[in-house]
């Protein structure tokens, strides 16, 4: 990659392992031109991502931006959970993502282990995994109502555990239709989608999000892609970036995008 970057980076200000500066240093070692931090938005319904120090987080990222000016571009972003409703002022870009389903009065987390998701499917969807998938994509389709996001994060996050647990049939016509319908709605509102290797780094999956049939649809819809590692540990900051370039190339993408001071620009791969 000529322009090396990761825009989806967590730190000790949420559920990541490293202080932001440690990760900036790692980015420099890897020859990155820039790095964007994307702390999880705090939510009133869960503290699973441990992000409650937003002001300290912003202050630290902007301190690093100044300190490393001319050496590496540091951006202050946010991974906005769709229902979190937080103030987004002061961030340079926003990743829109969904980690909770709203079921009645409850917000139900599914970015969890296979056991937890199985329990959600059993208790909330009568054991029918496809109903869970249908609900996820139906709710995700509404993303644009919750904010102006620059990037749609891990579009098919519900397939996190699918290699290890048969929670629903990702090859079924029904599943594919739910995903494609949601993508068609989102692609009208959002230009940039991420290809996310985070579940590989953490041992859940061997391939990035999204699945091939979704990538193909993204290609036909003219979506723009960025490659991210959803980094929670600096040692995996560029996890499978080279392989992922080849992966998206095999589905017809000849360029990936990168963020440059408020704009997404293409880079040939």
Q: Which is nearer to Zn ion, 97 or 170 (CB)?
A: 97
Q: Which stretch binds Zn ion (CB under 5 A): 21-29, 184-192, 228-236, 256-264?
A: 228-236
Q: Which is nearer to Zn ion, 112 or 216 (CB)?
A: 112
Nearest to 128 by CA among 168, 160, 78, 99: 168
Binding mask 205-224 for Zn ion (x = CB under 5 A): --------------------
| Residue of the chain from 230, 237, 248, 257 that contacts Zn ion (CB under 5 A) | 230
What token pair was written down for 164?
């290890």
Nearest to 152 by CA among 112, 183, 178: 183
Binding mask 62-101 for Zn ion (x = CB under 5 A): -----------------x-----------------x----
> Least CB distance from residue 5 to Zn ion, whole Å?
15
Q: Which is nearer to Zn ion, 52 or 174 (CB)?
A: 52
> Least CB distance from residue 232 to Zn ion, whole Å?
8
3-state DSSP assignment of residue 32: coil
Q: Which is nearer to Zn ion, 34 or 41 (CB)?
A: 41
> Least CB distance from residue 77 to Zn ion, whole Å?
10
> Least CB distance from residue 48 to Zn ion, whole Å?
11
Using CB atoms, what's the residue nearest to Zn ion?
230
Pinpoint the alpha helices (H) of 30-128: 54-67, 114-124
What token pair was written down for 123?
């208790």
Q: Which is nearer to Zn ion, 169 or 233 (CB)?
A: 233
> Least CB distance from residue 160 to Zn ion, whole Å?
10
The residues facing 258 across adjacent strands are 265
Number of shown-chain residues binding Zn ion (CB under 5 A)? 3
Q: Which is nearer to Zn ion, 60 or 230 (CB)?
A: 230
Interaction between residue 133 and Zn ion (CB under 5 A): no
Q: Which is nearer to Zn ion, 223 or 229 (CB)?
A: 229
> Least CB distance from residue 70 to Zn ion, whole Å?
28
- Interface ranges with Zn ion (CB under 5 A): 79, 97, 230
């Amino acid at each position: 990659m000529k322009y090396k970057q990761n825009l989806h980076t967590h730190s000790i200000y949420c559920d990541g392992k490293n202080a932001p500066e440690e990760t900036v240093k790692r980015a420099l070692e890897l020859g990155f031109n820039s790095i964007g931090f994307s702390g999880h938005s705090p939510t009133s319904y869960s503290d699973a991502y441990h992000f409650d120090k937003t002001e300290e987080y912003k202050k630290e990222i902007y301190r690093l931006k100044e300190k490393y000016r001319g050496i590496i571009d540091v951006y202050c972003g946010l991974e906005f959970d769709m229902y979190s409703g937080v103030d987004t002022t002061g961030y340079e870009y926003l990743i829109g993502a969904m980690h909770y389903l709203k079921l009645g009065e409850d917000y139900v987390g599914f970015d969890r282990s296979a056991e937890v998701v199985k329990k959600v499917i059993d208790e909330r969807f009568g054991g029918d995994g496809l109903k869970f998938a249908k609900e996820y994509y139906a709710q995700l389709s509404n993303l644009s109502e919750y904010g102006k996001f620059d990037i749609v994060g891990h579009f098919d996050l519900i397939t996190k555990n699918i290699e290890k647990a048969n929670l629903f049939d990702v090859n079924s016509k029904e599943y594919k239709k739910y995903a494609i319908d949601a993508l068609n709605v989102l692609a009208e509102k959002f230009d940039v989608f991420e290809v996310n290797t985070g579940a590989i780094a953490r041992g859940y999956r061997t391939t990035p999000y999204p699945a091939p049939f979704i990538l193909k649809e993204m290609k036909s819809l003219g979506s723009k892609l960025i490659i991210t590692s959803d980094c929670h540990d600096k040692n995996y900051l560029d996890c499978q970036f080279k392989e992922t370039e080849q992966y998206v190339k095999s589905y017809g993408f000849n360029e990936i995008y990168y963020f440059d001071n408020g704009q997404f620009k293409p880079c040939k791969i």
